[in-house]
């Protein structure tokens, strides 16, 4: 006895592949709709006219463009890892919400806490500059950099650049 295969009820919906047969102005309108929706939370005909679409284009393409805008509304952004210059700049400014993360580094709780300690030490040094605070600031930064997956030469470059940028204090 031969079994008959039945279509699964769990099939994925079919989406057009990159909207190949779509008019170029419809694709442009779709992108404009996504941008307008991101900025203002909605799209009006007046917004599309200001974006350079004619009334006839709006009538002809609005429904298809809106459907495509919904289907492609999720963009995945990738962030590039911090390069040496980025790490030096971030360490010089010591902003708590901008920790340096090179390639293969994830912002774990430990890294975030260590960066926060450095930012606090840097802030304390700027408020009350004395040699002990300066040494503590550099030690905390060194500890943070040791927890990152970077080469010792990069770690030393960051430390030397930050130390050179810090104000010199005398006792």
Tokens of 74: 């999720």
User: CA–CA separation, 100 vs 115, rounded Å?
Assistant: 9
Write out pLDDT tens, residues 107-165. 899 999 999 999 999 999 999 999 999 999 999 999 999 999 999 999 999 999 999 99
Helix (H, G, I), strand (E, B) or coil at 54: coil
- Total-model pTM: 0.56
Burial class of residue 19 (count of CB atoms within 10 Å of its CB; 0-12, 13-18, 19+): middle
| Residue 166: band (very low, low, confident or very high) from pLDDT cuts 50, 70, 90 | very high
- CA–chain centroid gap for 131, Å, is 37
Q: List pLDDT tens digits, range 61-102.
A: 999 999 988 887 765 555 789 999 999 999 999 988 889 999
């Amino acid at each position: 006895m031969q079994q008959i295969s039945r279509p699964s009820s769990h099939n994925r919906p079919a989406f057009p592949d990159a909207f190949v047969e779509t008019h170029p102005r419809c694709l442009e309108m779709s992108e404009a709709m996504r941008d307008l929706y991101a900025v203002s939370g909605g799209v009006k005909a007046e917004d599309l006219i200001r974006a350079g679409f004619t009334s006839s284009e709006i009538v002809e393409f609005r429904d298809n463009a809106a459907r495509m805008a919904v289907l492609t509304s999720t963009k995945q952004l990738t962030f590039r890892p911090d390069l040496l210059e980025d790490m030096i700049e971030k360490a010089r400014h010591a902003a708590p919400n901008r920790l340096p993360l090179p390639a293969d580094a994830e912002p774990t709780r430990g890294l975030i806490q260590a960066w926060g300690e450095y930012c606090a030490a840097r802030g304390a040094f700027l408020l009350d500059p004395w040699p002990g605070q300066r040494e503590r600031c550099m030690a905390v930064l060194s500890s943070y950099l040791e927890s990152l997956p970077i080469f010792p030469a990069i770690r030393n470059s960051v430390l030397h650049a930050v130390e050179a940028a810090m104000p010199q204090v005398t006792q």
